[in-house]
Structure 1
Amino acid sequence: MEMKLLRWATIVLALLIFDQSFTSVGADLIEDTCNKTSNFKFCVSFLRSKPGSATADVQGLAQIVADQIQINLKDTFSEASKLYKEATERVIKECFQICSEMYGVAIDYMNGVLINLKSKNYSNTRDGLSVVYGDADTCEESFHEEPVRPSPLTKNNDDVKNLALIGSEIVLILG
């Protein structure tokens, strides 16, 4: 009985050590990858918060970023469309219309980005991410034209731009 217990304890301990070393390798890959981006802190914070990132390779990290961008685009498109319907002031309504249009285009481009990323067509992936970045920026800038209005979508736009930028930089590592 004691021998069986000792064997099980040894197996469990070995698995824990293996799991810990595997997680450390994943954490190192996240830091190494994010070190090659322009926003290390955002990159590490984002990737560490996502399930599967600790065991992902660089392609997997790019996929995690791309999947989150798609989620953010759809959420922001819905929010901008809702705000457009609720807006009564002409100028702010125009801003939300621009944002809805830009995010609609970005969603279409992101579908291509996801296909290109899976097929390892990294040049087209980066090009698509650049368009997505630009669309989020155009949305935000529409609120800064005269007459200037505060943008309720600033955080959404910043998140999309940050993710698109680090996504593009991670894809650059891939090729």
Structure 2
Amino acid sequence: MQAAMASVSTFVAIFLVLLAVVSSDLLVAHANTDFISGTCNKTNNPALCISVLTAKPRSSHASTEHDLASIALEIATNTAKHNVKVIGNLSKNNQSTPEGFALAICLKAYTEATSALEIYANGNFQIGLYTSTLDNVSFAMGASNTCKVAFKRIEKKSLVSYIDREMKEHCTVASNLINLLVHK
């Protein structure tokens, strides 16, 4: 009988410990979601900001606007790098075509955007030159427009309109969050 009661007591103790752990994690996650929402509400497009940041699990650990801006800059940089790979693969399959010509322009634009973000924007951000960082992000965002124009010139539907839109959105979120730091 005592063994059964000890077993029940152990089970209840373990259950209460697990409940406490889960509850505290939920409270922290909720608090971080509130922080992300509160910060994103200061931007031009809160819904987009929240959507982009909550897709990155590391955002839930951010505790400052600087942290969130850094994460958004990382997301934009990773998007540019990913887009270079996608466009590079598409270029191989469309050589000697009008689409291949447009993709070559896109590839150059996204390669330059990646450098602008990875080297210049990141470096400027790390040393607190937020206005320069914004210029770098704005330059990188232009890759999507350059690509759009390249396909428009050949009067063909863009093969990369989805990634162009994503690049523009991710750079917009990064710009909006970095802009919050400019006046501090």
Kindly tell me: are residues 8 and 82 of structure 1, through their superposed partners in 2, closer, same or farther at Cα, counting changes over 3 Å?
A: closer
| Structure-2 residue corresponding to 1:162 | 169
| Structure-1 residue corresponding to 2:61 | 55
| TM-score after normalising by structure 1 | 0.85
Query: Is 1:29 aligned with 2:28?
Result: no
The answer to whether the 8 A contact 2:52-2:173 is kept is no
Which shows bigger deviation, 84-93 or 106-115?
84-93
CA distance in 1, matches of 2:95, 2:19: 64
- Match for residue 98 of structure 2 among 83, 91, 110: 91
- Match for residue 127 of structure 1 among 126, 135, 140: 135
| Structure-1 residue corresponding to 2:113 | 106
Q: Which of 1 and 2 has greater Rg?
A: 2
The answer to whether the 8 A contact 2:43-2:176 is kept is yes
- State the identity as a percent: 24
Aligned length: 174
Which shows bigger deviation, 47-56 or 89-98?
89-98
Query: Is 1:117 aligned with 2:125?
Result: yes
| Structure-2 residue corresponding to 1:76 | 83
Kindly tell me: are residues 12 and 80 of structure 1, through their superposed partners in 2, closer, same or farther at Cα, counting changes over 3 Å?
A: closer
| TM-score after normalising by structure 2 | 0.81
1:100-123 residue CA offsets vs partner (Å, 9 max, x unmatched): 110111111012112222222211
**Secondary structure of the corresponding residue to residue 152 of structure 2:** coil
Kindly tell me: are residues 5 and 44 of structure 1, through their superposed partners in 2, closer, same or farther at Cα, counting changes over 3 Å?
A: same
CA distance in 2, matches of 1:6, 1:117: 50
CA distance in 1, matches of 2:79, 2:85: 10
Long gaps (5+) in structure 2: 1-5
- Match for residue 174 of structure 1 among 174, 181, 184: 181
Kindly tell me: are residues 110 and 161 of structure 1, through their superposed partners in 2, closer, same or farther at Cα, counting changes over 3 Å?
A: same
| Aligned-residue offset at 1:98 | 0.6
Long gaps (5+) in structure 1: none
CA distance in 2, matches of 1:5, 1:173: 49
CA distance in 2, matches of 1:50, 1:154: 23
